[in-house]
Amino acid sequence: MNTISAPETILEQIARIQRMEKGTLSIIRETPDGPCCNFQRWEGKRHISEYIPARQVPEVRENLQAHAEFEALLAQYVQLVSTRTRDKRLAGVKKKRRMPNSSSPKKRKSNS
């Protein structure tokens, strides 16, 4: 996923992500069926904490991984579109030419 793509390709990859969740998953305890976890997230201005039984942990982990992939793709998309926009904006701008420095030193004006 580290290859640079066209913005349109990135949007296609984002559109293929059908499930995701944002938050953190913390193991509460280990059971014979696997870990039981606490899933914490923000919804609006509220902090939500949800118990996740062992049988649901793999699905929540996949959803969290999908969100991480979404965030990475989104960052790539923003970078590519920003670069493209900046390049188009600067395409018609001529660089200012600097005047070459004089070979003779500048003379100070006297204060008298």
The predicted model gives 1-27 an average pLDDT of 88
| Tally of structural domains, the chain | 1
Q: Which contiguous run of DSSP H or E holds residue 30?
A: strand 24-31
| Mean pLDDT, range 68-77, rounded to an integer | 97
With a cut of 50, say whether residue 1 has pLDDT above it: no
Identify the domain containing residue 50 by its residue range. 20-84
Which helix or strand (DSSP H or E) is residue 49 part of? strand 46-52
> Would the pTM of this model clear 0.75, i.e. be above it?
no
Short-list 86, 87, 65, 67, CA closest to 75: 67
Average pLDDT over residues 39-58: 96
In the predicted structure, residue 97 carries a pLDDT above the cut 70: no
Whether residue 64 lies inside any domain: the answer is yes
Q: Does residue 29 lie in a domain region?
A: yes
In a domain, 100, yes or no: no
Report pLDDT for 21.
Answer: 97
Q: Is the pLDDT of residue 107 over 80?
A: no
For the CA atoms of the chain, what is the radius of gyration? 27
> In whole angstroms, what is the distance from residue 82 CA to residue 74 CA?
12
Asked whether residue 40 is assigned to any structural domain, the reply reads: yes
